[in-house]
Amino acid sequence: MMLLSADNLHLWRGEQHVLRGLSLRLDAGECLQVTGANGVGKSSLLRALCGLLPLEEGRISWRGQDMRRDRPAYHRELAYLGHATGLKADLSAAENLRFSAGLRRALSAAQIGAALERVGVGALHARLVRQLSAGQQRRIALARVLLCDCALWILDEPTANLDGRGQGLFAELLQEHLQAGGLALVATHQPLNLQDPRVNVLELA
């Protein structure tokens, strides 16, 4: 049994038929990279898989059960990172994590500090997010994904605004997540450069 499977997904955005009968399967330790031209529906696919967009047709199953039957249980195992980072500009990096990832599970200051350290912005923990660069904000958002401690990652352009080292760091984090038995769906144009070959590429057209 696959952990995540989607069958025959159909999705319309306005007049545009974005997904036409798309199916995908993902099991523990596997990563699916979603690529395709701009506007082809990568973000829509990811948002639909998160349950944020209603499908016209099709079925998404998590652990063999239709996701719509128990959405909260599915969401508790899902960490989503979208275009908007979901960070509050007027809170510090550490406060942001305390109040976002901390909404899902109890976190100590040490855990938050360690996560910020892991994504390379440990020294910025007390700075307000509005004073940080877009790339630094992305890193904090990645720290949130780490802290959520979820099996399934759905990440939309996680390496946007990241410098070369940041992209290397992301590949490392992803690799660790997959090796620990996690699943990941990543929409990105850049090659993921994992040493582990288990990255399937889904090209939308």
> Which residues of the chain form contacts with other proteins (CB under 8 A)?
50-54, 72-78, 80, 82-91, 95, 98-100, 102-106, 149
What is the nearest approach in angstroms of other proteins to the Cβ of residue 102?
Answer: 6
Q: Which residues contact 72 (CB under 8 A, 6 or more apart)?
A: none
Give the nearer residue to other proteins in terms of CB position, either 27 or 70.
70
| Token pair of 161 as six digits | 């605004």
* Residue whose token pair is 């990096």: 93
Going by C-alpha positions, the residue among 78, 119, 117, 124 that lies closest to residue 101 is: 78
CA count, 13 A, side-chain hemisphere, 3: 17
| Token pair of 64 as six digits | 């063999």
What is the nearest approach in angstroms of other proteins to the Cβ of residue 83?
Answer: 7
Calpha distance 123→104 (Å, rounded): 25
Give the nearer residue to other proteins in terms of CB position, either 51 or 120.
51
What is the nearest approach in angstroms of other proteins to the Cβ of residue 20?
Answer: 19
Give the nearer residue to other proteins in terms of CB position, either 59 or 75.
75
Give the nearer residue to other proteins in terms of CB position, either 80 or 199.
80
What is the nearest approach in angstroms of other proteins to the Cβ of residue 96?
Answer: 9
